[in-house]
Amino acid sequence: MVNDTETVTLKKTHTRETGVALVLSGACLWGISGNVAQHLFNTQSVDPGWITSVRMLVSGVLLLLLTSLRDSGSVWKIWMSRSSRRSLLVFGLIGMIGAQYTYFEAVAAGNAATATLLQYLNPVLILIYFSAKKRRWPAGTEQIGIVLALVGVFFIATQGRPSQLSIAPAAIFWGLLSAIGGAVYSTQPSRLLQRWGAAPVVGWGMLIGGTVMCFFYPPWIYTGHISLNTFAAILFVIIIGTLVAFYLYVASLKYLKPMETSLLGCAEPLSAAAVNVIWMHVAFTFFDWVGSALIIGTVFILSLARKENQSNHAITR
């Protein structure tokens, strides 16, 4: 007969397994979405700016609609506070566009795996920023993480040969910009997320960013190929790779600590690399895998070095 203690243990194990499955599923969908976007850029002539504009607009509207079905008040209350309005506008204009648009440009200039890995340098940039702000040198473990990240980028960019680049300079440029955008995206809205929750903040951020992007890349002006394949891929990037992935990640926070979801989120670059090799037939060399391992290892090191005083928030691509 199973006693009460064993029952509680089984329930905890079950809920933890559920959380792990949710966050891994969300991370893998993000990784696959980057490859689907690469397919759109390489074979369907879809513009990265156009897909960014459409993705943010549609995802923002749908996310806010879904949120309003649960609690209509939470969607609009955020605009009642002057400080929240200001922060939300900054998040949408700088954080959201800075992370989304640069990421897709990096995918178009290189490939989904490299773009995702370079964007995962944002914890290093966050560390350097806060260290400079507090006027202190990074701790020993943090310094190791920075060095590993730099060596990882070196291996990916040069294949171990300093005299030449193995990927397009534009891919490195946009990838590093996406890391900067990701750093802003991950840290700037922390107070908003604590006060209002992830769904309304991300939803409005996407809608604001998408609205501004319309002035540069109007959704009604499409220059790519028109086919069922293209339409299905665009829907995948918007619905599966954004909304579904976001809700899976947020749902995992009910069962796991924020630091755990952050660490398990490293499945994203791994899935992006695996799909890149299997589906897109991108050659991944020994140095690519070593560089990937070093960058992902940096995320683990910096996450474990942090204390449990992080805000409980979720990020979606």
* Lookup: tokens for 307: 């204390």
- Asked if residues 294 and 160 have their Cβ atoms less than 8 Å apart, the reply is no
Share of the chain above pLDDT 70, in %: 90
Residue 114 has what pLDDT?
94
Please give the Cα distance from 246 to 33 (Å, whole number): 12
Q: What average pLDDT does range 37-56 have in this prediction? A: 96
Residue 255 has what pLDDT?
82
CB neighbourhood size of 56 (10 A): 27
Model confidence, pTM: 0.89
- Share the mean pLDDT of the chain: 86
Give the amino acid at 278.
Answer: I
* Residue reference for tokens 């690519």: 288
Q: Is the pLDDT of residue 108 over 90?
A: yes
Please give the Cα distance from 237 to 228 (Å, whole number): 14
